Amino acid sequence: MAAKEEKASGGGGDPKGGWQGTLLIVLKFLFAALFLPVVIGSTMALQNEVMGFDASLRHSLWIGLVAYLVLFFFVYDFAHVYQFGQNVMTFCFQFFKPMLNFAPYVLPIYTIVVLIAFAVMSAMGKAHEWQGMFFSLIAFTFSMHIILTAKDLYKKDPGFGKPTYFFGMELVYIIDVFLIALVMNVVLPGFSFIEFFKRLSGVSLDIYKPVIGQLFGVHW
């Protein structure tokens, strides 16, 4: 009887409640803040490399980005298309459990497919006439992946302040941009992963240094 009363009153403790739960929430917010400079750095580094493309190709990228945003807000968000890609990734990693729940989020499958298709067309000498379309598809599919991943992770986090969402989405975004930069380095002429990484590191350190200096009195 006592055991039943203890269970009914929450005795035994919810492992996600109490001070442990509060500590976990604080740590997630702390790590989210810690990763924010890397998010900014990776975004600026990617933008810096994109600015090295021909103006017409940059225009194609903008067309792909804007096209997805317009469709997302006013017509169709491609959620079913996104979910199909998630299911494909889940199937591919079903025998590799450490990546089973992570891979669908960190591998933008449609963008990778578009980049591979572009590489194949380039090898056949037929990519030039379709460059604009491929660049628009790269921006379109990557925007779809990031936005719908954010939407999915947001829904899955019931916690106050969405700590898991902020931490997880930052991590996913950083890995996504990093992987796409690696693939672009191989596939797209004029894209340098080395320069991307240098820019990412430089911007991130420029943000970390003054913050660390203020907190710990470190002089660089």
> What's at 83, amino acid-wise?
Q
Helix (H) or strand (E) holding 20: helix 18-50
Contact assessment for residue 89 and residue 109, using Cβ atoms and an 8 Å cutoff? yes
How far from 134 is each of 69, 113, 123, 139, CA to CA, in Å?
Answer: 18, 11, 15, 9
Q: Which of 159, 37, 151 is nearest to 105 (CA)?
A: 151
Q: Which pLDDT does position 144 carry in this prediction?
A: 96
Token pair for residue 118? Answer: 């572009």
Residues of the chain scoring pLDDT < 70: 1-17, 19, 21, 216-220
The pLDDT of residue 1 = 42
Q: What is the pLDDT of residues 58-105, one digit of tens each?
A: 999 999 999 999 999 999 999 999 999 999 988 888 877 777 778 888
C-alpha 59, offset from chain centre = 23
CA 97 to chain centroid: 21
3-class SS at 190?
Answer: coil
3-state class percentages of the chain: helix first, strand second, coil last, to nearest 5? 80, 0, 20
